[in-house]
Structure 1
Amino acid sequence: MRPRSVGTGGSEVRAALVGAALAVVGAASGPFTAHATEPDATGTDRTPDAQGETTPPRSDARIEPGPRDEGEPPEVALFPEDTLGASAGWELRPEPAPSTLEEQSEEDLDRWMDRELRDDAVSAGATDGWYHALGQSMRREFRPDLDAMTRERRAGMDTLQRVADELGRYAQRPQRPIDPGGVSPSTLFARSREDEAVQDSFDQRSPLHAPITWHRVELRVTHAPDGTILALHVVRTSGMPSMDRAAVEAVRAGATSAPRPPPRVHGERPNFVSEWAFEVGDVAPHWNVVGGVEGPTGEGMQGAALGRGVMRTSVSLLRVTDAMHPSVEERRAERRRERRERDERPRR
């Protein structure tokens, strides 16, 4: 029969080892030591100090809610203002802020998308009819000198370069006239098939059905609320001073004869901006074509002979910044103002 002291001695040895291990862990962990807690009369845990007395719980100690009445429904917030993690007391680490390059890339992408959407809306005609009337008025006043443009373009060229420039006029494809004389745009889609066949035959023999080389200049116009011009800037030059001057004069003359803009265009703005593209088409009819065609605006005739004499013009609206079409910066400022007002609004 084995003595009972052997088992007791093994237990004492194991207890001594466990106590020594706890002492080592407590010494290595620094000021954080383990204390036994005892419940008080209120049911909360109180920690004994060095003298054996208990201290009240810390202010950051979590207190579990007591039992609710059986008949009282639970309080559940349908739209809580705090997240689930904040309500549970979790400390969620914030996501790392993007770098400056990433922020700039996102801003550039937003700016490009806004500009493209705005330009597509303008090209689709999503603007006030006043711009259409202004464009028609400016096109009637747009009278560039094609001979002066040719001399300015060929200034400084030698003989070989002049020959290459002349042959380059015939490198384009023939284009159907976009503004046949004597026909209003509203009746172009109301013709029968016989009328279309006659028009196609006429276009094939017309000097306008020929290669066209287009030259372009872009202008930015700042309008007052009454439609007068406050500023005029050449955004993209054609490289030919005579064409640029003709476009500037057309804007100034067309703005005086255009109707007054309606209040929905300027709104409460002190000014609004429109950008336009003025184009001149140098038509290159065949050398065996001799005849006359009506001018691009219906005023006067143009004589076609030896591949010269015919010119087309076009005025198109590129983009606007008015009461109905704010700029990208204005939309960003408005969104920042709305976010600031929403953040400053007191929570209910």
Structure 2
Amino acid sequence: MARESYAAVLLTQGEHRFYQLAMPSDVLGECTFVTTRDTDPEAGFQRLLDKKRATEIANYIDSGHGTIPTSVILSAQEVCHLEYDSRNKTISFEILPSSFLILDGQHRVYGFKISDTKIRVPVIIYDGLNRRDESRLFIDINSKQRGVPSELLLDIKNQAEYENSEEQLFREVFDLMSTDPTSPLFGRLSPSKRAKSKISRVTFNAALKSIYPALSSRTPVEIQEILSDYIASVRDQIIRNGGDEEVIMNSVTFRALTSFFIQAARRVKDRFGPDYSVDNFNEVLMPLFDSIQLAKLSGTSQAKIIDYLDKHFKGEFQL
């Protein structure tokens, strides 16, 4: 039976003590499991694992540029016979599949395990926890940690040079609409966080993604101008029919109305050619908004809103 020893720092917080060390990724993969309810550690991994996420971690490490400094958090089990040498500042333990229960970091551990690259991983090992302690610590770790908002990650992707061409286009259109005083969304967009009565970058990107094929041949400035005229027309029609334009700021409604842009733009092009002005959008949208119930735009289902608009839009056609 193999036994390993590593330099470690003993720390105490509250009633718990733990060790901080660096462990080789291949050793980490050999001696950890993810649930005390499974006798097969590998099966436990498979049941709780998002394989795509773990594979992305492995590919990131194998790229040669990957670095994941966040500590994997483990709970030592009795079978590993963990020992701390205070004189040499080292811990030693038996390498068994059930030596350590993973409290946080299962995707990282499995990503390291399937990676071709072996690295040293920051690890925190708790010792002397019972099942209640492990369960409570697991809950505390996973309920009190807060991930970085998706809006902020999107906002800084450009700085990190991580954007793809689609994300770059959406960012440029978003920024143009956010800074152009003539845009109907001026002052109504929130780039790096969610904000009440504003459209976040995440919602905006999701909305434009549904119509991206129709936009790809246009410049960001052209897209901003066309979409601004369309949204302005929708806003005007809502107000003309006694509605509250704030409905557009609902994320579900905004995504649905943006997706419906394709139908409206196609009708404009059929009647007026590629002249996507507010007036031309008004011409094709006025009969639609005269025939619908504005309350139907406030639903919780994007698909239902789109189906409702499509049904009435097609139904109003006359020779």
Q: TM-score, normalised by structure 2?
A: 0.20
Greater relative contact order (Cα 8 A, min sep 6): structure 1 or 2?
1
Say which one has the larger Rg. Answer: 1
